Amino acid sequence: MADIIQLLPDHVANQIAAGEVVQRPASVVKELLENAIDAGADTIKLIIKDAGKTLVQVIDNGKGMSPTDARLSFSRHATSKIRNAEDLFQLHTKGFRGEALASIAAIAHVELKTKQPDDEVGTCLVIEGSDVASQEVVVTPTGTSVSVKNLFFNIPARRNFLKSDAVELRHVTDEFHRVALAHPSISFAMYNNGSESFNLPVSNYRQRIVNIFGNKTNEKLVPVDEDTEVLKISGFVGKPEFAKKTRGEQYFFVNNRFIKSAYLNHAIASAFEGLLKSGTHASYFLNLDVDPQTIDINIHPTKTEIKFDDEHTLYALLRSAVKHSLGQFNIAPVIDFEHDPSLDTPYNYKNNQAKAPKIEVDSNFNPFKTETKFSGSSTRQTASFKPTPNDWDSLYVGMESKGNDSEEHSETDFSELQFESEEETTSMFGSDQPVETGSSTYQLHNKYIVSTIKSGMLLIDQQRAHQRILYEEFLKNITIKEATSQQLLFPLQLHFSSQDIEVVRQLKSDLEHTGFVFSKVDDGEVEITGVPVGVPESEVSIVLEQLISDVENEVPDSHFSATDLMAKSMAKSLAIKTGQTLKSDEQEYLVNKLFACKEPNMSPANRTAFITMSVDELDKKFM
């Protein structure tokens, strides 16, 4: 039988490796930025077009490469970081495998320009699909410029799997943030389709966070600093009152390398236990410095997962450090057993004796000789009454006649009284339809609504049903552009990052059709003067945060329009939740509104909203 095993050609092997290393344009951004940092650059520029599908270019002022190194850098497993296997456990750099540039060159058009400081001219290398098209001498500044064009041009199937520009741009921005946060001593700039998105000068770590996420972030940060023999922790965590529904602002850096760790994330959540509202997540920006020999960063192609020698110790130290910071800055209640009582008294009065207050009594004071003045409706009258100890009965003389007179006018007097009306509370679902008395609904475990029908029983999921009701209402309002709005007494000011502001600006017109009224959308701040009827003011920030997150990640699917996506996101945020108690009239109204919808049987997320159970099915349960 003939031999069937054969070696793969280099270009095929490179494309297979590219499938592990390069998943989307953000993967290229990560690899090129890390190479620029390893080159010793202190100024790095990222230029992208069409969310990186057309162009990803990284320009740095590092040490550059020689012509030979420039050619060799695109070979597989060619690296300057490793000489033997032991070097894998002494890594202090980013890229070390030597696969990134070879994988990128296999599935894109790459142009490399590089020059070393001592050379007069540099090298320009052009590679198309692993094939070197040209290598020429070129005049270029010191450093390296790598341009990756037409990603996945020779693999159409992989290109079709890419999401929309908004989603891919979000991933690119996330990678840019991760690298920029890990290196505040390096100046970064990002340009998207010719416009500047970020310009981050050299700064300290706190200022780098503020420059990325907005000036309002500064007041949200609580410092964390702990130094032990095993681990050094530095960075910041967010205050509990600023916790978000999404996990966007959560960053772990181990030896200046961004990682994802559900185990360490649980340590942070445990430190915040009892301080966060249900369903919210605290923000954190933490740097962990450990001995490189105690970690293995070579277990995942993207190097975002790390294996620790002693995870339990790191968990305990991280949890304790965060809890200590929260208590130290009066974020969480603490008991201080080393409290010095002398600190309670100001230093200037520490040794002074307490002075007894002086009490002065006027022996001539007689309250019954004092004239009592009282003001009437139109004139000021002065009454003077000087009773003697034996004339107390005279105080009540004339009260009977006055009482009789008052009885005669009591009916007219009370008829003119006006009482403050109690605050009217509207029903959760409004009151545009009358509710019949004698309700036949029942709420089960604050989750389901049970109702009777001719054939048997109806069981409705209250959260999904309300989502369907709100979804169709919002979709109708956006479509016909006739939504009603309620004006706020005081404008509501919300703060977002620059990329979130851009999303709000894109959705502004559609949001206005739902009932929102914006007076300002700029400079990291959104000012709202009106909200849709039925939307509580306290829920506005939650609605917008959820909407921004859904739009950036295209939830639930890229095939839906922006209008449909917005209606679904708002319905998901504003619908009643499982566990909320409903009155009988609210239950009845929910049932009536659900079956007035066009698609009552499914929620906006295509999940069953209600089920029916016939009498025959119930009878079978008792057989």
Find the CATH number of the domain harbouring 267: 3.30.230.10
Lowest mean per-residue pLDDT among 127-136, 215-224, 433-442, 448-457: 433-442
User: What DSSP letter does each residue of 256-318 carry, written as one string?
Assistant: TEEE--HHHHHHHHHHTTTTS-TT-B--EEEEEE--GGGEE--SSTTS---EES-HHHHHHHH
- 149 shares a domain with 34: yes
Give per-residue pLDDT as tens, 101-119: 888 888 899 999 999 999 9
What is d(CA 200, CA 179) in angstroms, rounded to the nearest whole number? 12
CATH at 512: 3.30.1370.100
Give per-residue pLDDT as tens, 435-465: 444 457 888 888 999 988 888 888 999 999 9
Instruction: Confirm whether 358 is domain-assigned.
Output: no
What is d(CA 53, CA 50) in angstroms, rounded to the nearest whole number? 6
DSSP H or E run through 186? none
SS3 413: helix
What is the structure's pLDDT at 80? 64
- 221 shares a domain with 76: no
pLDDT at 373 over 60: no
Q: Specify which of 326-330, 408-412, 548-552 reaches the highest per-range mean pLDDT.
A: 326-330
- 313 shares a domain with 262: yes
- 232 shares a domain with 192: no
Instruction: Confirm whether 360 is domain-assigned.
Output: no
- 550 shares a domain with 593: yes
Q: Among residues 307, 328, 349, which one ends one of the domains? A: 328
What is d(CA 173, CA 532) in angstroms, rounded to the nearest whole number? 32
pLDDT at 124 over 90: yes
Candidates 608, 589, 600, 613; CA nearest to 453 is: 613
Lowest mean per-residue pLDDT among 145-159, 345-359, 362-376, 586-600: 362-376
Query: Cα–chain-centroid distance for residue 38?
Result: 31
Range of the domain at 298: 212-328
Q: Among residues 135, 167, 202, which one ends one of the domains? A: 202
Q: Among residues 173, 202, 231, which one ends one of the domains? A: 202
- 197 shares a domain with 216: no
Instruction: Confirm whether 356 is domain-assigned.
Output: no
CATH at 78: 3.30.565.10
Give per-residue pLDDT as tens, 306-315: 778 888 889 9
SS3 148: strand
Instruction: Confirm whether 154 is domain-assigned.
Output: yes
CA angle centred on 122, ends 116 and 123, rounded to 5°: 120
pLDDT at 7 over 60: yes
- 570 shares a domain with 495: yes
Candidates 512, 600, 504, 604; CA nearest to 557 is: 604
Structure tokens at 241: 């009152």
- 139 shares a domain with 87: yes
Q: What integer is the mean pLDDT of 541-545?
A: 83
Q: Between residues 491 and 553, which one has the greater pLDDT?
A: 491
**How does residue 4 score in pLDDT terms, banded at 50, 70 and 90?**
confident
156 beta partners: none
- 222 shares a domain with 134: no
Instruction: Confirm whether 390 is domain-assigned.
Output: no
What is the structure's pLDDT at 111? 94
- In this structure, what are the phi and psi dihedrals at residue 369, rounded to the nearest 5 degrees? -95, -5
**How does residue 379 score in pLDDT terms, banded at 50, 70 and 90?**
very low
Average pLDDT, the chain: 80
Instruction: Confirm whether 396 is domain-assigned.
Output: no
Q: Specify which of 225-229, 232-236, 329-333, 515-519 reaches the highest per-range mean pLDDT.
A: 232-236
Q: Between residues 17 and 503, which one has the greater pLDDT?
A: 503
Length of the chain: 623
Instruction: Confirm whether 359 is domain-assigned.
Output: no
- 228 shares a domain with 160: no
What is d(CA 112, CA 94) in angstroms, rounded to the nearest whole number? 20
Instruction: Confirm whether 522 is domain-assigned.
Output: yes
- 176 shares a domain with 259: no
**How does residue 186 score in pLDDT terms, banded at 50, 70 and 90?**
very high
Structure tokens at 402: 């006055």
Q: Between residues 77 and 412, which one has the greater pLDDT?
A: 77
Structure tokens at 171: 């991933």
- 566 shares a domain with 478: yes
Number of domains in the chain: 3
